[in-house]
């Protein structure tokens, strides 16, 4: 049955899961006609409701920009989602696990915008020229879909699994750092969980930023000064459970730890 589903109902279903801290099956099982443009309309509606509830946009994120993440999730198309102030986590404080369904953490290179960036036709060079700061980040993702199983339209509607983020304190000038060559070593619960460089993200986090600007432009939007851009997980995400300790050590962007 697809007739009963529409953008409003899907937005309510996803936000209810978030507020009630429970998962659900993929929307596309009940609404097989959900396509990518309609999924972004659902995402936009959930953002509208967050903002009318008093939240503020702090930036955007890209999802599924690395082969490691694409392979792990079985979806090979990058996507964008919104970040708001309600998702900001306090650095150094334990992750508030009761707020999340089945959270996972992933290390990312974060670009902080100095200038407005609007597509179409944005190149990685244009994108980097609009960046004021480069920082390290750990994103907490928390799909509203059971066992993180979804199709591309599902995960787009679900705001790219956005749930939380923490930002590193080391600030670098984009002109002084090769973002593609920046290294990251991830440890989970005292053991190695992988390593990568910025090149894992579409060849360069600058390419991810350009993609985001060009993609947002198709929906009449631009990336604004001051926004954070989480450019995508460098490595597959690791689960956060009681007692977890996840540490990301970056080459020149410092170190970030999340405990739960
Ligand atoms: O930030 C991400 O790459 C997540 C995008 C959505 C897919 C997932 O939940 O892993
Ligand atoms: Mg991410």
How far does the centroid of ligand 2 lie from the alpha carbon of residue 33, in Å? 26
So what's the pLDDT on residue 1? 46
User: Can you spell out the DSSP letters for the chain?
Assistant: --TT--HHHHHHHHHHHHHHT--B--HHHH-TT--HHHHHHHHHHHHHHHHHTT--EEEEEEES-BHHHHHHHT--S-EEEEEEGGGB--TTSPP-GGG-SS-EEEEEEEEEESS-B--SS--HHHHHHTEEEEEEEEEEE--SBGGG---HHHHHHTGGGEEEEEE-S--B-GGG--TTT-EEEEEETTEEEEEEEGGGBTTSHHHHHHHHHHHHHTTT--BPTT-EEE---SS--EE--TT-EEEEEESSS-EEEEE-
For residue 65, the ligand 1 atom closest to its alpha carbon is 3
CATH superfamily to which 7-259 belongs: Fumarylacetoacetase-like, C-terminal domain (3.90.850.10)
What are the structural domain ranges in the chain? 7-259
- Render pLDDT for 69-90 as a digit per residue (tens, 0 to 9): 888 888 889 999 999 999 999 9
Residue nearest to atom 6 of ligand 1 (CA): 160
The residues placing their C-beta within 5 Å of ligand 2, an ion, are 139, 233
Q: Which ligand is located closest to the Cα atom of residue 237?
A: 1
Q: Would the pLDDT of 251 be above 50?
A: yes
How far does the centroid of ligand 2 lie from the alpha carbon of residue 2, in Å? 30
- Render pLDDT for 181-226 as a digit per residue (tens, 0 to 9): 999 999 999 899 999 999 999 999 999 999 999 999 999 999 999 9
- Quote ipTM for the complex: 0.93
């Amino acid at each position: 049955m697809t007739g009963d589903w529409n953008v409003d109902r899907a937005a309510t279903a996803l936000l209810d899961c978030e507020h009630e801290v429970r998962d659900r099956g993929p929307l596309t099982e009940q609404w097989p006609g959900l396509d990518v443009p309609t999924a972004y309309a659902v995402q936009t509606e959930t953002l509208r409701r967050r903002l009318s509830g008093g939240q503020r946009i702090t930036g955007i994120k890209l999802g599924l920009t690395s082969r490691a993440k694409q392979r792990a999730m079985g979806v090979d198309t990058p996507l964008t989602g919104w970040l708001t102030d309600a998702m900001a986590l306090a650095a150094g404080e334990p992750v508030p696990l009761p707020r999340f369904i089945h959270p996972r953490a992933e290390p990312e290179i974060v670009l902080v915008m100095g200038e407005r960036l609007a597509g179409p036709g944005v190149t990685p060079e244009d994108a980097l020229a609009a960046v004021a700061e480069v920082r390290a980040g750990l994103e907490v993702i928390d799909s509203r879909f059971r066992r993180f199983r979804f199709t591309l339209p599902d995960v787009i509607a679900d705001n790219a699994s956005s749930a939380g983020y923490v930002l590193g304190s080391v600030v670098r000038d984009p002109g002084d750092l090769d973002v593609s060559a920046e290294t990251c070593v991830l440890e989970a619960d005292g053991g190695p969980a992988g390593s990568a460089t910025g090149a894992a993200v579409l060849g360069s986090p600058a390419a991810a930023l350009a993609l985001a600007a060009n993609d947002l432009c198709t929906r009449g939007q631009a990336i604004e000064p001051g926004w954070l851009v989480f450019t995508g997980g460098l490595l597959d995400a690791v689960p956060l459970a009681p007692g977890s300790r996840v540490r990301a050590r970056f080459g020149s962007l410092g170190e970030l730890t999340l405990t739960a």
